[in-house]
């Protein structure tokens, strides 16, 4: 059985800022430990340090057993690798090297004796490294996840798979593999609810030691034996599960505040004592030794330093305003998304909060993109605002927006290429028709409400996934949208930001339609539209996760 010991680990950013210091925790044999904390606190950096991707700057990391790693952005859009390449990236380095050597020898194979000998040697090395056992594993996973044998699936380009298929393939491969320790960075992103339940069950049943990052509150509640919170430049461990973590965190902060209050009181007493003895010693030489002793005591007390204060609470304030529209916000009549749904009718009224549910690949995101582009009958009044894709979704029937409805779209993949090389201040301070007259001070004021003021001069493309998500919500806030079309908005948001979004949507004066697989988030909605796997689209009275 494998384990991980982290002792006194610290990390300093290239600009000299300390990201975290003196982080210590243990992932015991067979333990399931969740890393939680605010976006940008250093969770991914810490996980990469444990994995060995980043050199340990201070402290030590001890690992026992093989380590399998699934990084945050495995696959995703634009990955031109084959599935075989991705599979090899998830196995042990010796096997990966043998696979690369065999691939190069295969590509160079011709009728010359030299190439044939090189191929034979590479094939032998592949077998010695455990390649044939790996191919059996690859085949098992390909059949389980994709329904195809490995020989048919191995050459498929990764970007042709859905995000959920990519994640499930990688997860199944790691969970079935021989590595005794798994490090998983947001494994639940892009998974639909049945897949998340599959992941929860597999994590619970696995005898591997698993350290993982997740913002999915339901998955955390179902799987974590222990929680390591990365916050305030350090980390602390809650020995219980996620259900009791919030209470434990509140109690910890109360204790920290009490210890600091006592330290401040004792500090003030010592200072008063030194001051009193100093005055008395000026007239009484017999008190000189007591005065010196008090000075020494005060100096040592101050050198030891005060106990730390609780980490500053995140104060993300989303002021989603909206505006009054016609009674009907969205009208769908015999709407059919080609190759995805049968015709369906749907009316969504001003003020509704509609959760769009269903498995991956059933057309939910296509539906949102159609509405974001103004529906099937766009006019000037219904032009999309920031971030709405312009390409029309192939469909039949009618999807019409109501009077004064102005759609604002949040994309699950944060696909905003026009923003990638711009800083946040540059994006906000551009003087267009939506944000004319906003100067740098105004930009920083808005960024501060979203806990992004420190990133004001940072390029959008370099932000963490959660920071990007918060900024895109800010752009929606400033856009004047009266219809929010949100595609998996909580996927990358930390716990505090997800809760802030829920509060912001409650106060929003308009209509909200959200595609989501976040079961916790879904509870805040009052209408539920299900895109079923049999191509039917129906409204259901409560959330339905079994899409059959």
The answer to whether the beta carbons of residues 90 and 70 sit under 8 Å apart is yes
Residue corresponding to tokens 């974001």: 372
Predicted confidence (pLDDT) at residue 393 exceeds the cutoff of 70: no
Q: Which residues contact 262 (CB under 8 A, 6 or more apart)?
A: none
Using CA atoms of 459, 465, 468, 472 in order, give the dihedral in degrees to the nearest 10: 150
- 346: number of Cβ within 10 Å: 17
What's the mean pLDDT in 58-68?
A: 92
Pick from 169, 208, 181, 209: which is nearest to 28 by CA?
209
Q: By percentage, how much of the chain surpasses pLDDT 70?
A: 93
Per residue in 44-54, pLDDT (tens digit) is 899 999 999 89
* Cα–Cα distance, 162 to 509 (Å, whole number): 34
Q: Which residues of 373-401 are buried (b: 16+ CB within 10 A; e: fewer)?
A: bbbbeeeeebebbbbbeeeebebeeebbb
Q: Tell me how many helices (H) and strands (E) the chain has.
A: 17, 18
Q: How far apart are CA 51 and CA 55, in angstroms?
A: 10
Query: What mean pLDDT do residues 108-123 have?
Result: 90
Q: In this predicted structure, which of 11-20, 21-30, 329-338 has the lowest mean pLDDT?
A: 11-20
pLDDT at 381: 42
Contact 358, 548 (CB under 8 A): no
| pLDDT tens, residue by residue, 243-286 | 999 899 999 999 999 999 999 999 999 999 999 998 888 888 88
Instruction: Classify residue 69 as exposed, middle or buried by CB count within 10 Å of its CB (0-12, 13-18, 19+).
Output: buried
Classify 341 as helix, strand or coil. coil
Residue 390 confidence (pLDDT) above 80: no
Q: Name the least confident of 9-23, 290-304, 386-400, 475-489.
A: 386-400
> Using CA atoms, how far apart are residues 179 and 137, in angstroms rounded to an integer?
13
Tokens at 312, concatenated: 């500053």
Q: Which residue(s) pair with 212 in the sheet?
A: 34, 184
Determine the pLDDT at residue 207.
94
pLDDT band at 73 (very low <50, low <70, confident <90, very high): low
CB proximity list for 271: less than 8 A, separation 6 or greater: 298
Structure tokens at 326: 């016609």
Q: Is the pLDDT of residue 199 over 60?
A: yes
List CB contacts of 461: < 8 A, sequence separation 6 or more: 419, 420, 421
Least confident of 18-32, 90-104, 201-215: 90-104
The residue written with tokens 């809760």 in the block is 499
Cα 469 to Cα 457: distance, rounded to the nearest angstrom: 17
Residue 490 pLDDT > 60, yes or no?
Answer: yes
* Angle in degrees, CA 84, 90, 91, rounded to 5: 95
Question: Where do we find the tokens 């902060």?
Answer: 253
Q: Is the CB of residue 179 less than 8 Å from the CB of residue 66?
A: yes
Burial class (CB in 10 A: 0-12, 13-18, 19+), 418: exposed
Choice between 254 and 439, residue whose per-residue pLDDT is larger: 254
Q: Which residue has the higher pLDDT, 391 or 248?
A: 248
pLDDT in the model for residue 75: 53
3-state secondary structure of 69: strand
- What letter does residue 53 receive in the DSSP assignment? S
The mean per-residue pLDDT over the stretch 297-314 comes to: 89
CA atoms within 13 Å, Cβ hemisphere of 380: 0
Cα–Cα distance, 32 to 214 (Å, whole number):
12
Long-range Cβ contacts of 159-165 (<8 Å, 24+ apart): 159/75, 159/76, 159/77, 159/78, 159/79, 159/80, 161/75, 161/83, 162/190, 162/360, 162/361, 163/75, 163/76, 163/189, 163/190, 163/360, 163/413, 164/190, 164/191, 164/192, 164/195, 164/360, 164/361, 165/360
CA–CA dist 487, 498 (Å, integer)? 14
Task: State residue 312's pLDDT score.
Answer: 80
User: Over the chain, what is the mean pLDDT?
Assistant: 87
Sign of the CA dihedral 339, 343, 349, 351? negative
pLDDT of residue 392: 57
Residue 548: which pLDDT band, with cuts at 50, 70 and 90?
low
Averaged over 518-530, what is the pLDDT?
A: 92
Per-residue pLDDT band at 313 (split at 50, 70, 90): confident
Mean of pLDDT values over 382-394:
52
Strand ranges, E, within 289-378: 328-337, 344-349, 353-358
pTM of the model: 0.76
Q: What is the mean pLDDT of residues 94-110?
A: 90
Kindly report which listed range (68-77, 180-189, 277-286, 522-531) carries the lowest average pLDDT score. Answer: 68-77
pLDDT for the residue numbered 465: 79
3-state SS, residue 253: helix
Residues recorded for the chain: 548
Which among 74, 39, 77, 186 is positioned nearest to 417, based on CA atoms?
77
Exposure string of 465-498, with b = 16+ CB inside 10 Å and e = fewer, is: bbbbbbbbbbbbbbbbbbbbbbbbbbbbbbbbbb
Instruction: Tell me the residue ranges of DSSP E strands in 414-505.
Output: 483-487
Question: In this predicted structure, what is the pLDDT of residue 265?
Answer: 96
Phi, psi of 240 (to 5 degrees): -105, -170
């Amino acid at each position: 059985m494998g384990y991980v010991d982290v002792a006194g680990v610290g990390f300093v950013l290239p600009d000299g800022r300390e990201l975290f210091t003196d982080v210590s925790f243990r992932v015991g044999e067979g333990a399931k430990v969740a890393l939680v904390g605010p976006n940008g606190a250093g969770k991914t950096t810490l996980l990469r340090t444990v994995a060995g991707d980043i050199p340990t700057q201070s402290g030590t990391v001890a690992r026992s057993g093989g380590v399998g790693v699934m990084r945050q952005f495995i696959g995703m859009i634009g990955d031109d690798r084959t599935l075989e390449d991705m599979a090899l990236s998830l196995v042990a380095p010796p096997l990966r090297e043998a696979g690369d050597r065999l691939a190069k020898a295969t590509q160079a194979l011709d009728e010359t004796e030299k190439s044939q000998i090189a191929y034979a040697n590479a094939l032998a090395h592949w077998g010695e490294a455990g390649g044939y056992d790996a191919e059996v594993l690859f085949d098992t996973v390909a059949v389980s996840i994709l329904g195809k044998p490995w020989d048919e699936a191995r050459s498929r380009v990764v970007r042709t798979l859905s995000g959920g298929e990519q994640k499930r393939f990688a997860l199944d491969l790691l969970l079935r593999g021989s590595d005794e320790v798994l490090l998983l960075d947001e494994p639940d992103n892009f998974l639909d609810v049945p897949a998340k339940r599959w992941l929860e069950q597999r994590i619970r049943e696995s005898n591997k030691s698993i350290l993982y990052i997740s913002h999915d509150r339901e998955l955390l509640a179902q799987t974590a034996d222990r929680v390591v919170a990365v916050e305030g430049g350090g980390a602390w461990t809650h020995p219980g599960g996620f259900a009791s973590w919030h209470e434990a965190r509140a109690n910890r902060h109360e204790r920290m505040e009490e210890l600091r209050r006592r330290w401040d009181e004792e500090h003030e007493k010592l200072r008063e004592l030194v001051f009193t003895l100093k005055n008395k010693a000026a007239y009484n030489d017999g008190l000189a030794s007591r005065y010196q002793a008090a000075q020494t005591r005060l100096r040592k007390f101050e050198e030891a330093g005060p106990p730390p204060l609780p980490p500053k609470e995140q104060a993300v304030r989303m002021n989603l305003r909206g505006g009054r529209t016609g009674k009907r916000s969205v009208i769908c009549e015999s709407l059919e998304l080609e190759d995805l749904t049968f015709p369906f009718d749907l009316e969504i009224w001003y003020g509704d909060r509609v959760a769009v549910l269903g498995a991956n690949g059933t057309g939910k995101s296509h539906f949102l993109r159609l509405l974001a582009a103004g529906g099937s009958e766009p006019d000037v009044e219904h032009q999309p605002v920031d971030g709405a894709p312009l390409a029309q979704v192939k469909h039949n029937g009618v999807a019409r927006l109501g009077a004064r409805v102005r759609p604002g779209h949040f994309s699950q993949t944060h696909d905003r290429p026009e923003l990638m090389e711009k800083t946040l201040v540059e994006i906000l301070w551009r003087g267009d028709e939506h944000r004319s007259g906003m100067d740098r001070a105004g930009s920083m004021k808005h960024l501060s409400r979203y806990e992004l003021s420190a990133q004001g001069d940072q390029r959008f493309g370099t932000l963490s996934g959660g920071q990007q998500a918060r900024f895109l919500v800010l752009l929606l806030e400033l856009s004047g949208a009266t219809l929010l079309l949100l595609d998996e908005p909580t996927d990358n948001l930390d716990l505090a930001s997800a809760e802030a979004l829920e509060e912001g949507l409650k106060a929003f004066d308009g209509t909200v339609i959200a595609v989501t697989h976040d079961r916790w988030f879904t509870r805040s909605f009052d209408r539920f539209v299900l895109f079923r796997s049999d191509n039917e689209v129906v409204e259901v009275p409560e959330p339905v996760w079994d899409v059959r």
